[in-house]
């Protein structure tokens, strides 16, 4: 006996039901055989709909291979977005340096404890802006001239105690392996086995506010758990033998800046250097850790991390996140437009917003719209940071597509 349910114009078989009492009906007079037909009637408690039948198909799996390639995303971005204008890039450098010097001069002249906290917040943010411009030099998106990129990058990064080439090379490793559990370099997840082996002090430093936001200087010296090496030492496994001279040059520039600070401390006194430079430096460190962490963690939905054959440059880059920083977007050169930056780090920062808008049609659900700041400052991101540090602790030791788990 047929068991059929009419569903959106289709006839869909009903599941087998328990035997019901039959109703005997007489055969039509024209039928020669004297027999009866039995009609089983079952009333479903829920009428199926097209939406029900397609519900599983509509669910988005962020860990699935995307239906587009890197070339498709590239083709959607206007050609002028790839053009590097060294004069425009230098204009941003001049702007930021003038602001930094102006803030320092004004704070030193006023020398008021009512002004110093405002100065620290503003100057620390400007140090972070200088870092982003040096970061563009490291990617080669500042200009097409490698020598200009190197000179400007060394000046900007050394001024805020970052070894330019040491960082540039490790950051290149991060971009080339983004989203890979073992090979990523920046804020990569810990496998469960390694996480369980950490002592309580190390776990506290990694997952308890404010300690993770002060990690960058220590990372430069000793990297993160499970990895070894220093950004200052040419023999570190971060570097290739042919990069030795680059690393030595950057370390020498870093030491020169330390010597300048020591001389200024002797001339001006340690308290003045603490107020003018050291406190803003730590504000800059917090900005750097805050931004880099949230570009790879803290989304409302879990994001995948990959191993083995499941990883690809495109899939890894699509696990990055854009963030909105309110007024800070312009100050720190739109580094919040992070997805397109990760896929195409050659694009100058002043074209990232336009390039992102153009690529959205191709990226589809693989692009996650950032929550907009409700005011001039990105206060909404502090909640995302705290939630992520509480729940994103480790990933499984096995599996090629894995997600963060909570201890």
For residue 23, what pLDDT is reported?
42
3-state secondary structure of 394: strand
Match 């430079």 to its residue by tokens: 277
Q: Which helix (H) or strand (E) holds 200?
A: helix 200-207
- Find, among 328, 356, 330, the residue nearest to 342 by Cα: 356
pLDDT along the chain (407 residues), means of 10: 40 43 44 40 40 53 95 98 98 98 97 96 98 98 98 98 97 96 92 94 93 95 86 94 96 98 97 98 98 94 94 96 96 96 97 98 96 91 95 95 93
For residue 58, what pLDDT is reported?
65
Q: How many angstroms separate the CA atoms of 188 and 394, rounded?
A: 10
For residue 31, what pLDDT is reported?
42
Q: What is the dihedral of CA 269, 253, 137, 299, to 10 degrees?
A: -60
For residue 140, what pLDDT is reported?
97
Is residue 356 packed enough to be buried (19+ CB in 10 Å), middle (13-18) or exposed (0-12)? buried
pTM of the model: 0.84
For residue 101, what pLDDT is reported?
98
Instruction: Give me the count of residues in the chain.
Output: 407
Q: Is the dihedral of CA 152, 158, 162, 163 positive or negative?
A: positive
Domain ranges of the chain: 85-402
159 and 257 in contact (C-beta within 8 Å)?
A: yes
């Amino acid at each position: 006996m047929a068991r059929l349910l009419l569903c959106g114009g289709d006839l869909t078989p009903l599941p087998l039901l328990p035997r019901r009492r039959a109703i005997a009906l007489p055969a039509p007079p024209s039928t020669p055989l004297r027999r009866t037909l039995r009609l089983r009637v079952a009333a479903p408690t829920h009428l199926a709909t097209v939406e029900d039948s397609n519900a599983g198909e509509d669910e988005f799996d962020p860990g699935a291979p995307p239906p587009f390639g890197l070339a498709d995303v590239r083709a959607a971005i206007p050609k002028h977005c790839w053009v590097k204008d060294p004069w425009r890039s230098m204009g941003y450098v001049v702007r930021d340096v003038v602001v930094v010097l102006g803030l320092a001069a004004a704070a030193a002249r006023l020398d008021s404890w009512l002004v110093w906290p405002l100065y620290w917040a503003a100057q620390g943010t400007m140090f972070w802006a200088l870092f982003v411009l040096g970061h563009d030099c490291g990617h080669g998106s500042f200009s097409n001239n490698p020598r200009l990129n190197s000179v400007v990058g060394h000046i900007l990064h050394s001024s805020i105690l970052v070894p330019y080439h040491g960082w540039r090379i490790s950051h290149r490793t991060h971009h080339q392996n983004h989203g890979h559990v073992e090979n990523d370099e920046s804020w990569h997840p810990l496998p469960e086995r390694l996480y369980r082996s950490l002592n309580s002090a190390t776990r506290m430093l990694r997952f308890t506010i404010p300690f993770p936001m002060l990690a960058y200087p220590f990372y430069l010296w000793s990297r993160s758990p499970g990895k070894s090496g220093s950004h200052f030492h040419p023999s570190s496994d971060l570097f290739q033998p042919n990069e030795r001279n680059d690393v030595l040059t950057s370390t020498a520039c870093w030491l020169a800046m330390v010597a300048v600070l020591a001389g200024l401390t002797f001339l001006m006194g340690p308290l003045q250097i603490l107020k003018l430079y050291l406190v803003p430096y730590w504000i800059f460190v917090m900005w750097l850790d805050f931004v880099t962490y949230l570009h790879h963690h803290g989304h409302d939905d879990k994001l995948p991390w990959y191993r083995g054959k499941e990883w690809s440059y495109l899939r890894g880059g699509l696990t990055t996140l854009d963030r909105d920083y309110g007024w800070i977007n312009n100050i720190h050169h739109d580094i919040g437009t992070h997805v397109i930056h990760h896929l195409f780090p050659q694009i100058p920062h002043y074209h990232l917003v336009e390039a992102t808008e153009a690529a959205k049609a191709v990226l589809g659900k693989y692009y996650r719209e950032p929550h907009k700041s409700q005011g001039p400052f990105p206060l909404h991101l502090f909640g995302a940071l705290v939630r992520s540090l509480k729940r994103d602790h480790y990933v499984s030791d096995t599996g090629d597509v894995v997600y963060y788990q909570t201890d």
